[in-house]
Amino acid sequence: MNEEFKRKLSSRKLWMAVAAFITSVLVLFGMDGDTITKVTAMITALGSVVAYMVAEGYVDAAHNKNDTSDQPGPTEKRQ
């Protein structure tokens, strides 16, 4: 998955736009307020989970890339 796609998936603006669109469609089809509230809550919850997963993946990847504790430094000797 490329970095730009990951960044977009973790965008709060994207998830709010998705929630607003689906909420509007539900209103258009005459769904009751309770159903609309539940669907909107699920979309925002899903957005939060996806954003957390992408952010943690990014942090883990950066940590693994910068982690050189297993390798000897320039002044250390290999045994």
Q: Given this model, what pLDDT does residue 31 score?
A: 93
Per DSSP, 44 falls in state H
Helix H or strand E segment including 45 = helix 33-66
Per DSSP, 23 falls in state H
**pTM assigned to the model:** 0.61
Q: Given this model, what pLDDT does residue 75 score?
A: 59
What does the block give as tokens for 59?
């942090």
pLDDT in tens, 15-72: 888 889 999 999 999 999 999 999 999 998 998 888 888 888 888 888 888 775 555 5
Q: How confident is the model at residue 73 (pLDDT cuts 50, 70, 90)?
A: low
What does the block give as tokens for 61?
């990847």
